[in-house]
Structure 1
Amino acid sequence: MVKYRTLNLDLKNGLITNELTKDNKNVLEVKPVTYIYYNLKKKKVYIGETNNFMSRHAQHLGEKEPKLDYREYSNCLVVYSVLFNKSVILDLESLLINYMMAESKTTKFTFLNGNTGQSELQYVNKEEILTEVFYPLWTNELFGLGLIKNKDLNALRESLLFKYSPFKNLSAKQREIKEIVEQNYHENYIVDAPAGSGKSVLFTNLAFSLAEKNPNLKIGVVTTGNLIAQFNLIFKSVGLSDRLKVLTGSQLITHAQKNDVTYDLIIVDEAHKLKKYYTKGHPNARRHLKEGEEEIMHLKAISKGMVLLYDPFQGIKPQNISPSEMIELTDGFAKLEMTQQFRIGANSDFSGEDFLNGILYGIQLSKKNNFNRDVFKSDYFSISNSFEKLVEYVENKTHSYDNTTNRVIAGYCREWKSNPGKKCNKGKNYDELEYDWNIDGIQKRWNSTYEDWIKRENSEVEIGSIHAIQGYDLNYAGVIIGNDISVRDGRLVAVPENYKDVGGTPLKEEFDINELTNYILNIYYVLLSRGMDGCSIWFEDKEVEALFKERIGL
């Protein structure tokens, strides 16, 4: 028995042209419903919920400045059920918005909803609504009407457009921070947020909400280069590409200086990757800086307020502003904090925070050892005893669990000899390129690209570097801790000759082994925090493995 019903209304200049039965009128006047206005030709969609559709429809038609005049919608699909109440229709509205937006790159729809930033909804029959209403509605009515193209909800759930949707439900802390900024957006804030705490969700949600509520507000949005295309697609899909153009820090600074622009607010995702002038840095990354300058100085100069979403353990290069420099540069900023872990799986005995705190202690980035060590004895975590076993771990997860994203990732301890971007342009085929890794008779290449690497055709057989994986989620991560780190007198220390990121080492005249060690350990912290459902490590240096196991209690 189908546990819901739908009513597809034909609209002409906002008027319902269907001949409505007594039952239809009752549904539209007194039943709680979720509804979808749409115009397939104009690629416009609006999703809502109400306890009285006829009254709500009249309100829509009376709006003075809608994003799209509701008279231009050709249809409205109304979903109703005896199971529905206010919580259910709100949740169904959220599900439809987030999943339909996740495939907007294919459907080309623009979603004209406002932002509520509501917290996660919990109610008694939530599982029943998912399995008996949302899933069949998606694969039957929505697919049949051409409102969706992809029936595979699992694949959509893994997309960045879904994960970073500005309509995602917020945690209580995310919501609190959003409200603080919205009340006073001409202040400066630094949000201390570890890996997996929801920085990017807050980033898109805050930018969208401020733009929606303040039509004249000039907002700058900044992130790292490998995420720009995805974030710009998100803002395009909600009709805000003209107001929210995502750039790197250097691009925004250059644009503002060239066009004499001052922003009301600049929001920076992954603020730990903001740069300072550095002689060895790529010319494009420092041409806007003079010696002694940092990007934060310029961002301050072109904005009335700023929000920095920051993790002190994710700076991975000398040209990144260091934690001590960040403290000095943000003196006077309001300090906010997010600690709840959303990426890494948990159960009733341990949390994602336990795993991250254990990793930080295990690789000597933190002295805090008050974490539940059972996390390292659970199904979530393992240590592979060979490179071959690590590769097998990732491949086995891919074959065992459909629609999961699982990759081998590593510290930058091998040269990038394959370099397909350069060599394929010179006439070589990808299959002819040399291998960067050759261990246990297994040959692998580094990531063939940095931008959106995990979605590329060859990524499953490649090894991802920090530059390809930072900012992304995996289901299962196989992490190589390479020979660029060793043990000396009970301490982890860098091995400079084995660290192959040419732009990632301190200048010779200023070389500091402790500085390089921290950069490398930060890289491993980032890599080890990518897996949502599981993580396995292979240690190239067995002394490093022994020290790590001792510290985490194995």
Structure 2
Amino acid sequence: MSSSKIKVNQYAFTMDSVNALTNNAFMKNWPIVYVLNDDHNVYIGETSNAITRMQTHLKSDDKNYLKQMNIITDEEFHKSATLHLESLLIEYMSADTHFDTIINGNTGQSHMYFQKDHYAHKFEELWSILKKKHLANERIDQIRNKDLFKFSPYKSLTEDQFGTVDVILQDLAQRTKHQEPQTYLIQGEAGTGKTVLAIYLVKLLTDLFADRLSLEGFASEEVNALKTLKQENRSLKVGFVVPMSSLRRTIRNVFKDIQGLQANMVITPSQATKENFDILIVDEAHRLKRRKNLTGYGAFDATNKRLGLDDNGTELDWIMKSSKYQILFYDKNQSVRPTDVRHDEFKKIINREDHLDLFLFSQMRVIGGDVYVKYIKDIFNNNHPKPKEFDAYDVCLFDDIDIMIQAIKSKNEELGLCRTVSGYAWDWVSKKDQSKHDITIDNHSYIWNTVNEDWVNSKNSINEIGCIHTIQGYDLNYAAIILGEDIKYDPVLQKIYTDKQNFYDKKAKAGVTSDKEIASYIINAYITMLTRGIRGTYLYVCDKNLREYLATFFPTYINK
């Protein structure tokens, strides 16, 4: 289709300026997007009658202090396109460094319509104009690599995410009204947007009870549920539990830069027991701990005793005892240590009457989509899928470890946020002696991650090898995976198997007598790592038989 030109016209945000535009063809009965701002604050909206909408805003105390009106027009605009562009502007401007505060809330609505890709290209054109007009600072690719963008509560939600929010709000409104307990267990595989949805709910509920939430744009069902929640509960105390220290630190840093959220809202399971919460939202609930292979048993036992639990008490029990309502985000296939609460404990929740089971299916991370994720799972669970090709997703096998490392460094220079990770198939000797290397393959030596928290964003991470615990919960543009000698292939039995003798995660092995259990940790870790890359995944395989087997499923990299 022919492409018309998108335009941004700037005016003073005054009643005189608005009235002077009454004869402008785009200002009445035409869908437009607009940006209202002063030096520090910005509001983004869309409307089919700009004159009426601007007059309304000028009469409103929450927006009439803004100084500038930016009207975005295009002859090709229609309602679906302007709604989509509005949500994109909110999403990107909230992560850009130009404005201090985004006044908007977020309804979370997704936008599916004919020629959506065409308007996505128009957004890139629009963003360039906004940069020239000093309404934005950073490039789109820079913003996409930021944690503030990846973990933003301003993202458009997928259909199943939005449906999950709808169900939770309506059910929670009725449960709180009648003071009935409820646990919401939201299950989804890696990349289905569990963390994004968790943060969205934290922001939504926090804004609601702080009287910051605008109900504009919400469907009538959500409006009624939110009003009921507010009317029946003057205030509900909401906590956000993130069990993994690395991801917790990252999200705390993100919360510092989001209006209405604070770093201290992101807490440990232990911190959750020290206050009485109405709602606890738990991300990565599969990483909640039980009393096994812990670093310190004393504090764990003391918390159990304080809560009236015996030694079998788990962090999941702590969450249940410390809140009236629980929203748990869970994936049983991402349990990678015996310290993690057993799946049987979550089954007990599923079997209770005061529980609601919800599911996320849409793949949000990997461009290869659900097909790629299922392909990886089928290969490594010995389901022997038919070989597939992924035109839009860059996945390939390397015969030379050094060439793969150089390739991922090259991708990192081009795109940023590209890292190398590996299974725990080498001992961590550099932890005690920094002069030593941990991993040696074909005369090339490397070290494990030198920091445990927020390793992905650490200064030297591109020159290190991350383990599973550094990247669980994170997105990468490209992920290079080293498959060590802890995973192999038996050509006689025609199956992938694990070798615990070459598995060096001491906390995953200590006290575990079941080879099947250890194997599940190894396989789960590799599947998790192989689904981190948004744009592509590189593989180097140490075991010769496994390398030859995987060559039937993935193309071999050709060094150009």
What residue is the counterpart of 1:307 in the other structure? 327
Q: 1:128 to 1:34 in 2, by over 3 A?
A: same
Q: 1:553 to 1:4 in 2, by over 3 A?
A: closer
What residue is the counterpart of 1:164 in the other structure? 151
Which among 50, 53, 74 is matched to residue 53 of structure 1? 50
What residue is the counterpart of 1:154 in the other structure? 141
Which among 497, 504, 509 is matched to residue 508 of structure 2? 504
Which among 522, 525, 532 is matched to residue 523 of structure 1? 525
**Which digits, 9 at most, give the CA deviation of each residue in 1:111-168, with x for residues without a partner?**
12122111233243x4554445x334323344533x3221x21121222322332222
What residue is the counterpart of 1:326 in the other structure? 346
Aligned partner of 1:163: which letter?
A: K
Q: Which runs of 5+ in 1 are unaligned?
A: 347-351, 424-431
1:139 aligns with 2:128: yes
In the alignment, is the contact (CA less than 8 A) between 1:221 and 1:266 conserved in 2? yes
In the alignment, is the contact (CA less than 8 A) between 2:240 and 2:282 conserved in 1? yes
| 1:480-499 mapped onto 2 (5 Å cutoff) | 480-486=482-488, 490=493, 494-499=498-503
| 1:167-246 mapped onto 2 (5 Å cutoff) | 167-185=154-172, 186=175, 187-215=182-210, 216-223=235-242, 224-241=244-261, 245-246=265-266
Q: 1:340 to 1:20 in 2, by over 3 A?
A: closer
> For residues 376 and 303 of structure 1, what CA distance do their matches in structure 2 show?
45
Aligned partner of 2:154: which letter?
A: F
**Which digits, 9 at most, give the CA deviation of each residue in 1:359-405, with x for residues without a partner?**
223223xx756x55314899643332242343244245446xx3253
Q: 1:379 to 1:58 in 2, by over 3 A?
A: closer
**Which digits, 9 at most, give the CA deviation of each residue in 1:441-499, with x for residues without a partner?**
22222122233322332222211111111111222222111123456894655544432
Calculate percent identity across the aligned residue pairs: 28
SS in 2 for 1:116: coil
1:381 aligns with 2:395: yes
In the alignment, is the contact (CA less than 8 A) between 2:396 and 2:554 conserved in 1? no
Cα shift at 1:58: 3.8
Aligned partner of 1:144: which letter?
A: K
What residue is the counterpart of 1:426 in the other structure? none
The two structures have a TM-score, normalised by structure 2, of: 0.81
What residue is the counterpart of 1:468 in the other structure? 470
- The farther-off stretch of 21-30 and 90-99 is 21-30
What residue is the counterpart of 2:270 in the other structure? 250
1:119 aligns with 2:123: no
> For residues 22 and 189 of structure 1, what CA distance do their matches in structure 2 show?
50
What residue is the counterpart of 1:428 in the other structure? none
Q: What is the aligned residue count? A: 511
Aligned partner of 2:291: which letter?
A: Y
> For residues 378 and 23 of structure 1, what CA distance do their matches in structure 2 show?
47
RMSD over equivalenced CA pairs, Å: 3.3
**Which digits, 9 at most, give the CA deviation of each residue in 1:291-324, with x for residues without a partner?**
2111111111122222221111101111111223
In the alignment, is the contact (CA less than 8 A) between 1:7 and 1:79 conserved in 2? yes
Aligned partner of 1:501: which letter?
A: D
In the alignment, is the contact (CA less than 8 A) between 2:477 and 2:533 conserved in 1? yes
What residue is the counterpart of 2:312 in the other structure? 292
Q: 1:23 to 1:213 in 2, by over 3 A?
A: same
**Which digits, 9 at most, give the CA deviation of each residue in 1:272-303, with x for residues without a partner?**
11111224335698363462111111111122
**Which digits, 9 at most, give the CA deviation of each residue in 1:164-214, with x for residues without a partner?**
322222222111111111111252121220111121222222332333445
Aligned partner of 1:180: which letter?
A: V
In the alignment, is the contact (CA less than 8 A) between 2:475 and 2:532 conserved in 1? yes
In the alignment, is the contact (CA less than 8 A) between 1:410 and 1:464 conserved in 2? yes
The two structures have a TM-score, normalised by structure 1, of: 0.82
> For residues 19 and 230 of structure 1, what CA distance do their matches in structure 2 show?
43
1:391 aligns with 2:410: no
> For residues 44 and 391 of structure 2, what CA distance do their matches in structure 1 show?
45
1:362 aligns with 2:376: no
What residue is the counterpart of 2:418 in the other structure? 406
1:102 aligns with 2:106: no
What residue is the counterpart of 2:430 in the other structure? 418
In the alignment, is the contact (CA less than 8 A) between 1:345 and 1:532 conserved in 2? yes
SS in 2 for 1:504: helix
Q: 1:83 to 1:220 in 2, by over 3 A?
A: same
**Which digits, 9 at most, give the CA deviation of each residue in 1:76-131, with x for residues without a partner?**
3222232222122212211111111122xx4462212122111233243x455444
> For residues 111 and 395 of structure 1, what CA distance do their matches in structure 2 show?
35
Cα shift at 1:523: 1.0
1:73 aligns with 2:62: no
Q: 1:410 to 1:24 in 2, by over 3 A?
A: farther
What residue is the counterpart of 2:82 in the other structure? 89
> For residues 310 and 341 of structure 1, what CA distance do their matches in structure 2 show?
15
**Which digits, 9 at most, give the CA deviation of each residue in 1:248-288, with x for residues without a partner?**
323323x32xxxx232x222221111111224335698363
- The farther-off stretch of 523-532 and 410-419 is 410-419
Cα shift at 1:438: 2.3
What residue is the counterpart of 1:345 in the other structure? 367
Cα shift at 1:230: 4.0
